[in-house]
């Protein structure tokens, strides 16, 4: 297990980077660009198609983060030996819960509404998706600070 630790830590960092980077791109680049260039029906279809792809990856990132996070926590630190580790675990689980709400509560009904042509409903759900992505992005930035600066504080 000890020889696996560097690889687990690297995988943890890679999954975190890809999840957080994807949210940053979606929120700060793709969404405003879509608003600027596309009419609502096409814009909603673009979001449906891109969320379908991105969220499938997010499931994988979450599985990797939880697996590598808890195995690293116990193999390297013997459990919650420092307060920044408890913070990492708390914020990490919160991000996963927010993603579950986003996926099942907003994204699946959003996708159904787009496919059914119910654009007002889809637009309302997209607003909720936007805020939950923003919340997870902010938590993702905080958790990165905790994970990287935590050992030095």
| 27, 28, 65, 123, 125 from 48: Cα distances, Å | 14, 17, 25, 11, 11
Q: How far is the CB of 106 from ligand HEM (least distance, A)?
A: 19
In 3-state terms, what secondary structure has residue 82?
Answer: coil
For residue 108, the minimal CB distance to ligand HEM (Å) is 22
Verify binding: residue 6, ligand HEM, rule CB under 6 A. no
Q: How far is the CB of 72 from ligand HEM (least distance, A)?
A: 4
Taking CB under 6 A as the criterion, the residue among 26, 58, 88, 114 binding ligand HEM is 88
Distances (CA, A) of 121 to 14, 69, 78, 124, 136: 35, 37, 48, 5, 23
Q: Which of 35, 60, 93, 142 binds ligand HEM (CB under 6 A)?
A: 93
Distance CA 14, CA 93 (A): 18
Q: Would you say 110 or 140 has its CB closer to ligand HEM?
A: 140
Contact 101, 109 (CB under 8 A): no
Give min distance, CB of 151 to ligand HEM, in A. Answer: 4
Closest CA to 1 of 62, 77, 93, 84: 77
Interface positions with ligand HEM (CB under 6 A): 9, 12-13, 16, 19-20, 65-66, 69-70, 72-73, 77, 85, 88-89, 92-93, 95, 140, 143-144, 147-148, 151
């Amino acid at each position: 297990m000890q020889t696996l630790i560097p690889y687990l830590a690297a995988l943890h960092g890679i999954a975190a980077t890809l999840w957080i980077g994807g949210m940053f791109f979606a929120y700060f680049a793709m969404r405003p660009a879509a608003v600027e260039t596309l009419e609502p029906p096409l814009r909603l279809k673009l979001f449906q198609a891109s969320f379908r792809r991105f969220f499938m990856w997010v499931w994988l990132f979450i599985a990797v983060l939880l697996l590598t996070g808890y195995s690293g926590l116990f193999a390297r630190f013997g459990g919650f030996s420092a307060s920044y580790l408890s913070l990492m675990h708390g914020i990490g689980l919160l991000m996963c819960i927010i993603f579950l709400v986003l996926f099942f509560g907003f994204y699946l009904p959003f996708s159904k509404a787009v496919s059914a042509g119910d654009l007002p409903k889809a637009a309302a759900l997209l607003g909720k998706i936007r805020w939950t992505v923003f919340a997870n992005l902010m938590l993702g930035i905080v958790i990165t600070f905790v994970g990287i600066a935590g050992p030095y504080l």
